[in-house]
Structure 1
Amino acid sequence: MTRFMTRRSFLKRATIGTLGTVATVYGGYYYAHDVEPFWLKVQNNDVRSHRIPSSFNNFKIVQFTDTHIGFQYRNKDLKKLVNAIQNQQPDLIVFTGDLTDDPSLISSDKYREIIDQLSRLEAPFGKFWIYGNHDHGGYGTTTILNVMNDSGFKLLKNDTEQIEIENDYINLSGLDDILLGNPRPDQLINDENEGSFNVLLCHEPDYADDIVHLPFDLQLSGHSHGGQVQIPFYGYVVTPALGQKYVEGKHTLGDRLQLFTSRGVGTTRLPFRFLCRPEINVYNLKQA
């Protein structure tokens, strides 16, 4: 028997449906704007290679990247980030670029707060960093350099640092930013160190295609934000230049290079994260 809907029943169902839609939209906005961007994840990765010396077995590198302070990320969030990094008890800390979203918009007082927080980071084998594209431009190049220097970080700008334990060592190299800097990858590893375990810090992950022929075992990158917003059946929403191919996670290139792209910590362009939690990355070296 067919049941007819009364006008009152129709209006009631329509009202409930509308309220449900509004609640869903508002709830989704609130989650993507106020919850997920600050729901930090610790991403653990084992890195295996026969070139890792026995002294470096279980050596722990912690990477953080793309804080973009000033866009949505605040100094009070940086304090929580520093605590999370220290909780990992890193042997070595690396920052792979984009400290602020726009260096010219950060006051001197805010920079002092940033220095106070980053100075709390400690690792027995040092703290290193490279430029990202947002760190360059205007007076940003010098400003960010001074902030990181005052925070105890050493810049790797087309430089290589030897990390030593007893009589063993690995090489840690860093490139200037690809988009706005002057990268010189060919000068990083000499013939003597081709057989060593060589780590490269490079802000833009897609540049791995240009250095895969060089003797690097591990590339750590950021820049892409993991797409920042991921929509099922559609994919990544925010993918910048040179961050569109290797958007997140692990990729193996050639017969040697392991590339890891971090989702990073902050946001840019859009003040949202959806199905793409911010992360710090822990790399545990394992002698294969």
Structure 2
Amino acid sequence: MISRRDMLKMLAALGVGSTALSSYAVAESFRERVTHYRLSPPRWPKDLNLKLAVLADLHICEPWMSIDRVRALVEQTNSLQPDAVLLLGDYVVGRTLGSISTSVAAERWATVLVDIKAPLGVHAVLGNHDWWADSEVQQQRSGLPRAGRALRSAGIPVYENAVVRLQKDGRPFWLAGLGDQLSFQTNDDDDEMAKSNLFGCIGTDDLPRTLAQVSDEAPVILMAHEPDIFPKVPDRVSLTISGHTHGGQVRIFGYAPVVPSRFGNRYVYGHKIERDRHLIVSGGLGCSSLPVRLGSPPEIVMIELGDGGEG
């Protein structure tokens, strides 16, 4: 996946030399695993069996989330034979490190992601870095970022406060995609919406408008890049699926010192149940800047809903 020379360049960029812990932290960021969840949450029919593969926070860049590595992840996802694949945003890297890492054009990685195969399709939302990386969209405060345009051009639907009604074995369900909660960066100290947000950002998310498009009693799955929306998600939604946190990226004995959420470690990772509502937060696959993970390895998430779940 990655050469010894590139690994040494990364360690040098981090200023950590060749210490065992630092080497392990870099190496762990390349050890993908598949994490399985089986559940049958309230408002999900037990006889509606559905397999979802979730890919979150790819942060594609050379060399540590290269096109070749993305291609390998696509092949691995296909081998899992999911019914549908959910892409949860942050396809672009947060920032590059001079000559150590370089970004990858959206058109290149989108043509690789289109090779994901699933009977019920591939469905995407955008993440905050996808919005922040497009300076023109940031300036205009409108439009779809390059990442979203590339995905749509490749034939992958991108949901911005939109829903789609799907069927598995003749049984319907809804898939809803929420707009990002941190879309637009702002320096306006008087903006009340921005002040209420952890990063001083304005979101494009509209949960009431999204769910208002659900026109029957079929169960609903919600894709939301950031898990912070979860306290506002109504009982009508059977399952919310998020990414964004990277599982803390560095997690020691289950605790992450830094989490990009106003709720801290509350939604940092895993399967959460609150007031009989269910949330799964993926640890993601990439790193937003430095290629370091400790106690939070990259993962493809497989979710099985229906009979045999934990309830």
Q: Which TM class, normalised by the smaller chain length?
A: 0.7 to 0.9
- Residue 279, structure 1, aligned to residue 299, structure 2: yes
TM-score computed with the length of structure 1 as normaliser: 0.81
Residue type at the aligned position of 2:60: I
2:116 matched residue in structure 1 = 121
Which residue number in structure 1 is paired with residue 51 of structure 2?
A: 60
In our comparison, the structure showing a higher alpha carbon Rg is 1
SS in 1 for 2:260: coil
Correspondence for 2:196? none
**Match runs of 1:34-49 below 5 Å:** 35-49=27-41
The 8 Å contact of residues 55 and 165 in structure 1, kept in 2 or not, is answered as: no
Q: Which runs of 5+ in 1 are unaligned?
A: 1-23
Deviation at 1:119, TM superposition (A): 1.6
- Alignment deviations for residues 37-85 of structure 1 (CA, whole Å, 9 cap, x no partner): 110010111120464346632x211110001112742222111211111
Q: Give the residue type in structure 2 aligned to 1:146.
A: R
Check if 1:31 corresponds to 2:24. Answer: yes
Residues 231-242 of structure 1: pairs in structure 2 closer than 5 A: 231-232=252-253, 235-242=255-262
- Give the Cα separation in 1 of the matches to 2:305 and 2:242: 17
Tell me the number of residue pairs that the alignment of Structure 1 and Structure 2 aligns. 259
Offset of 1:149 from its aligned partner? 1.4
Alignment partner, residue 168 of structure 1: 171
Q: TM-score scaled by structure 2?
A: 0.75
**Structure 2: runs of 5 or more not aligned:** 1-16, 97-101, 138-143, 184-202
Q: Which amino acid aligns with 2:25?
A: A
For residues 85-164 of structure 1, the aligned pairs below 5 Å read 85-102=77-94, 106=103, 110-137=105-132, 138-139=135-136, 141-164=144-167
RMSD: 2.7
Q: Residues 190 and 207 (structure 1 numbering): CA distance in 2 closer, same or farther, change over 3 Å?
A: closer
Matched, 1:267 2:287: yes
| 8 A contact 1:55–1:166 mirrored in 2 | no
Compared CA separation, residues 179 and 115, structure 1 to 2 (3 A): closer
Question: Take 1:50 and 1:193, find their aligned partners in 2: how far apart are those partners?
Answer: 19
Contact 1:148–1:154 at 8 Å: present in 2 too? Answer: yes
Distance 1:50 1:241 in 2: 26
Is contact 1:79–1:117 with CA below 8 Å preserved after alignment?
A: yes
Asked whether the 8 Å contact 1:194–1:215 carries over to 2, the reply is no
Relative to 1, partners in 2 of residues 1:242 and 1:67: Cα closer, same or farther, differing over 3 Å? Answer: farther
Identity %: 26
Residue of structure 2 in register with 1:198 after alignment = 220
